[in-house]
Structure 1
Amino acid sequence: MTEVAILREDRDGPAPVRVRVPAKINLHLGVGDRRPDGFHDLTTVYQAVSLYDEVIAEPAGHWSAEVTGEGAGVLPVDERNLAVRAALLLANRAGVPAAVRLRLHKRIPLAGGLAGGSADAAGTLLACARLWELDLTRDELVEIAADLGSDVPFCLLGSVALGTGHGERVEPVDAVGQYHWVVAVADGELSTPAVYGEVDRLRDNGIGRYHDEVAPLLSVLAAGGDADRLGPLLHNDMAEAAVSLRPGLAEVLAAGASDGAVATLVSGSGPTVLYLARDEHHGHALAARLRLRGLARQIHYVTGPVAGAVVC
């Protein structure tokens, strides 16, 4: 069983632990019909990309948190923050005091379908495990992560993975290529529960269905297929619902296509939009053209897959 790299050092007191953790995108997001318990089965293919938050865990007499960068002054720094909940849950499971000062420096946009909150929670689990010198296996951290949310286990692991259940059951998959993306962060936010609700409403009216076939996509990833092979296999069952709630997203999607993107895709529950580029040069050029259009408040060029949460 693989051990998480949690090293002990002789020192007068524990040093701060800095963890870098990536955003995620969904190359495929299949959403099942609403179940009697209110949840939806998911079939998703995750990829971690090179847009990072940083979590710093410092020794303290009691827990506290602060946020800089994206979301500063907006995100709560109490138990409503998923990173804080991660620290409290880990301390409870390990039977240690939740004595940590968390500093979250955010670049991943808020409520953009890129799992920024889940990334912070994953980074916090790893940082606090190191700070508190806990002997935890990778599987044990992933198990704790699953109790925090469907995207948290993947943000801990990174690279490429197949997610099932509510997305919390994560199975790494073979992927040998590198892909180039432009991430357009549209104005405003979309509530994930609201988008799920719109998926249900549209299905009740005969619009949309559950797409759970991912074998062709996984084959292309395993073979290192290029962008032209990958593009036609990208899919998101939540896209119609996101556009229904935010009609302006249709223009953002169309802009990427007209500017030469290999494929365009709503990221997760939106409103962030992804554009697949052929290579680095194409990605930078595409990002520049999209910035000139002014349709999004942020444009990022990123690559993937990248590693999950790592101590740095």
Structure 2
Amino acid sequence: MSLTASAGTVHVRAPGKINVYLGVGGRHDDGYHALATVFQAVSLYEDVVARHADDFSITVSGVDDVGSVPLDDRNLAMRAAKLLAAATEYDGGVALEIRKNVPVAGGMGGGSADAAAALVACDALWGTGLSPARLHDLAARLGADVPFALHGGTAVGTGRGDQLNPALARGRLDWVLVTSEEGLSTPVVYDRLDRLREQRGALADDPPLSLDVPIPVLQALRSGDAAQLSMTLLNDLQEAAVYERPDLDAAIRQGVDAGALAGIVSGSGPTVALLCTGPEGAQDVQSVLRDAGLDPLHVHGPVPGARIIS
């Protein structure tokens, strides 16, 4: 599929993310968990092109299994476009073309990036002219990761992850990603986390409504020192993801043995993110892992959020 823009089209690019830190509280009666996370947008992008149409439709490319991406209202980009139309009383439709580069069900927020890109693209295509704050409010109604995909950079997320505050992060961080052909279901991973905690008697009767990101994580980001940050990486979902996919633990060990400073499962997985010393160090790790039969990707962050390309 060609993503070249022409008259009457808008092309938007939005980044995937890594959770540098992810603390997860206990499950509440509504099924949600309080989160404290640090998002970093990285240079692996989703591309969305919006064209005028009478109705709403989506086409997708860049995935081996087209059936892995829904083309109806289960798709966050479709829901984003319809939400914007309803909020602005726009009576037309849109044809969305999505070129995926972020792994599907990979814990990197690819669907959320599509939704953020769709909001920006439709707003520009339809001339609805919403403010950034209003777009953020709509994004928050679509999911915890969507507002961050709008803004990009590095940010602290609290509440359900959708209450964002920019984090002071100096310099560039280089990561090597080990992706998986088989995705992981976010609800399955959260359910496994709850079960593991229940088995250990670690579930609180009254889970906290909010969590905080530890100060050492924020200090490491401010320092711009990858080695310092590597000692603070944490993901409360990692054990549950590894329980479902033991190979993820092996991938982290392989990456560290290859020279990465540390490794972490991104979000609910199964993508593994390996923090490296810098661009050259990441290229070395990538080379070793490729020789071992893996398909690693070298990315860097932070990068901006959803942006109009043409």
Q: TM-score, with normalisation over the residues of structure 1?
A: 0.91
Q: Is the 8 A contact 1:174 1:221 kept in 2?
A: yes
Deviation track 1:266-298 (CA, whole Å, cap 9, x = no partner) reads 01001110111111111111111111222x4x3
User: Which residue identity lines up with residue 114 of structure 1 in the other structure?
Assistant: M
In structure 1, the residue matched to 2:10 is: 17
Deviation track 1:204-246 (CA, whole Å, cap 9, x = no partner) reads 122878984422111221232x211110011100000011111
- Distance change in 2, residues 1:222/1:98 (3 Å): farther
In structure 2, the residue matched to 1:171 is: 165
- 1:292 and 2:282 matched: no
Using the alignment, how far apart are the partners of 1:118 and 1:145 within structure 2? 9
- Indicate which of 20, 37, 42 corresponds to 2:35: 42
User: Which residue identity lines up with residue 255 of structure 1 in the other structure?
Assistant: Q
Q: Is the 8 A contact 1:71 1:110 kept in 2?
A: no
User: Which residue identity lines up with residue 35 of structure 1 in the other structure?
Assistant: H
Task: Answer with 76-85 or 214-223: which moved more.
Answer: 214-223
In structure 1, the residue matched to 2:116 is: 122
- Distance change in 2, residues 1:145/1:213 (3 Å): closer
Task: Answer with 206-215 or 162-171: which moved more.
Answer: 206-215
Structure 1: tracts of 5 or more residues without a match: 1-12
In structure 1, the residue matched to 2:60 is: 67
- 1:134 and 2:120 matched: no
- Distance change in 2, residues 1:208/1:220 (3 Å): farther
**1:262: how far off?**
0.3
Deviation track 1:116-140 (CA, whole Å, cap 9, x = no partner) reads 0000000000000000111211110
- Distance change in 2, residues 1:208/1:180 (3 Å): farther
SS in 1 for 2:137: helix
Using the alignment, how far apart are the partners of 2:94 and 2:152 within structure 1? 25
In structure 1, the residue matched to 2:301 is: 304
In structure 2, the residue matched to 1:6 is: none
Deviation track 1:39-97 (CA, whole Å, cap 9, x = no partner) reads 10000000000000100001112221100112662212111111001000010001002
In structure 2, the residue matched to 1:219 is: 219
User: Which residue identity lines up with residue 15 of structure 1 in the other structure?
Assistant: G
Using the alignment, how far apart are the partners of 2:14 and 2:70 within structure 1? 20
- Distance change in 2, residues 1:187/1:102 (3 Å): closer
Q: CA RMSD in A?
A: 1.7
SS in 2 for 1:130: helix
- Indicate which of 168, 178, 194 corresponds to 1:200: 194
Deviation track 1:143-188 (CA, whole Å, cap 9, x = no partner) reads 0000001100000000011101111111112112110000100241
- Distance change in 2, residues 1:271/1:208 (3 Å): farther
- Distance change in 2, residues 1:95/1:176 (3 Å): same
Q: Is the 8 A contact 2:17 2:109 kept in 1?
A: yes
Using the alignment, how far apart are the partners of 1:208 and 1:177 within structure 2? 38
Counterparts of 1:92-103 in structure 2, within 5 Å, are 92-103=86-97
Structure 2: tracts of 5 or more residues without a match: 1-5
Using the alignment, how far apart are the partners of 2:193 and 2:165 within structure 1? 26
In structure 2, the residue matched to 1:181 is: 175
Following superposition, which runs of at least 4 residues in structure 1 exceed 3 angstroms of deviation? 207-213
Using the alignment, how far apart are the partners of 1:60 and 1:187 within structure 2? 33
User: Which residue identity lines up with residue 237 of structure 2 in the other structure?
Assistant: M
Q: Is the 8 A contact 2:256 2:263 kept in 1?
A: yes
State the number of aligned residues: 297
Using the alignment, how far apart are the partners of 1:221 and 1:227 within structure 2? 8
Using the alignment, how far apart are the partners of 1:280 and 1:208 within structure 2? 40
Using the alignment, how far apart are the partners of 2:160 and 2:56 within structure 1? 30
SS in 1 for 2:231: helix
User: Which residue identity lines up with residue 33 of structure 1 in the other structure?
Assistant: G
In structure 2, the residue matched to 1:253 is: 252
The percentage of counterpart residues that share the same residue type is 45
**1:14: how far off?**
6.2
SS in 1 for 2:142: coil
